[in-house]
Structure formats: structure tokens, C-alpha cells
Amino acid sequence: MTLISEEIGEFKIGEGPSEVVFVVDPLDGTINALKNIPFYGISIAIADSSIKSLDSLTLRDIEIGFVKNLATGDIYEAIKGEGASLNGSAAVPSSKEDVTDSLIGAYVRGAMNKMNEICKTVRRIRLLGSVATELCYVADGTYDAFLDIRGNLRVVDIAAAKLIVEEAGGTVTDEHGKSLDNKLEVTERTSLIAACNPNIHKDIKNITEVL
């Protein structure tokens, strides 16, 4: 097996070819944990590398996603094609359709020129400091959407939560509406818009694209 993590890079365990790849963020929300802010977690994504070579694996190849909010104990899980769950029950996204009445999570630093109109449009914005867990908030209906359009979002941070949102029925793309197919590498960066449904996603994308 091969372990991919921001802390250690790419690390092979055992002899022979790796059939399984683990993409791990052992502490997503480090500053929160250090400051005793109860919002931080662990993210584990698993991809099958028995068919494709390791260097060709992308976010599309993630088969299992696991995120745990270490502060609350909440566990989010997903298996590709089998749905997503929160603490063993089906994760259900928000049914919100009106972006002007939405609650979203967002990383705004470095993208204020693009975020200004978003701030004016949506009802509420939260910045909680743990990308993986905030993405899972889209999966369970806490958030209506989450976005990070700085273009500097680490793939290892979202590998598990992306699958969880999609398996719950949400929509996840980059800021231009393109499918995320970034390689499973520590150096890979992207932008992201995740929403509870295609309508909210389209409205947010349209706002950011005209800026």
C-alpha cells in the first residue's frame, strides 16, 4: 500500500506493487486544535491502484471516504456508488433552492475580489477552519454550499469529503464548473465549489465567474 499525506509526502509500505492508496490528512484544522476551538478532524480517502498506475490516479478514483470531527465524534462515511452517511444514518443535503437565503462556508483570504459579491448575495457565511469537515456540512445539510476559489486548496484535504458530498447527492466542481480530476499528489492544488444541489451550485458559480 501507499500512503499520501501532507506531513510525509508519498510513503510506500511493504514490498511489491501498491494495490491500495490511502490519502490522509491526520489533522485537518490544526490551528483550531492548537487553540482549543472544537472544530477539527481526520480525513482518510482510499483509492484502488491495482488497475491504474499510482501516478495516474486522480480524485475520480477515490472509492471510500471517511471524515471524523475529532471534537464532536461525528463520523462521515461514503462508498462510491453506495451513498454517504453521518453516524450510520443517511447523510441528506439541504433542499434549499434560493441562493439569497443560503448559508455557506467559504475561505475568503486571497480571493476577496471574487468573494465580495458572494458576501452580498448569500444570507450567511461561515469560516470555521477545517475544509474536510466543512465540506461534510454540505453533505448533511448544515451548509447549503462551501467554496474555496483561491486556487490553492490541497487535494489531500478534500479527497475524502468530495466523495462524501457527491454520494450524499451534492455537486462538487472547480470554480469553473469542471469536474475535479486532480492527481492524488501532495503538491496538487485546486479551487472548489460544493453545493447541496445543482441550482445553488450554478448560482454561486455564475456569481464568481462574472467577477
Domain boundary among 64, 90, 116: 90
What would the pLDDT profile of 61-99 be if each residue is shown by its tens digit?
Answer: 999 999 999 999 999 999 999 999 999 999 999 999 999
Q: Are residues 205 and 105 in the same domain?
A: yes
As for how many domains the chain has, the answer is 2
Regarding whether 103 and 184 lie in a shared domain, the answer is yes
| Same domain assignment for residues 103 and 190 | yes
Question: In the chain, which residue ranges form alpha helices assigned H by DSSP?
Answer: 30-34, 112-121, 131-139, 155-168, 198-209
The answer to whether the beta carbons of residues 138 and 164 sit under 8 Å apart is: no
211 pLDDT more than 60? no
**Secondary structure (DSSP) of 145-188:** EEEEEEEEEEHHHHHHHHHHHHHHT-EEE-TTS-----BS-TT-
Do 143 and 134 touch, CB atoms closer than 8 A?
yes
Range of the domain at 154: 99-209
Q: Same domain for 76 and 114?
A: no
What number of other Cβ atoms are within 10 A of residue 36's Cβ?
Answer: 7
CATH label of the domain that carries residue 24: 3.30.540.10
Q: What percent of the chain clears pLDDT 90, i.e. is strictly above it? A: 75
pTM score, whole prediction: 0.93
Question: Based on the domain organization, do 104 and 66 belong to the same domain?
Answer: no
Grid cell of 55 as nine digits: 501516478
121 and 41 co-located in one domain: no
Among the three residues 52, 71, 90, which one is the final residue of a domain in this structure?
Answer: 90
One domain, residues 77 and 129: no
Distance from CA of residue 102 to its chain's centroid?
A: 19
Look at strands 103-107 and 89-90 and give their pairing: unpaired
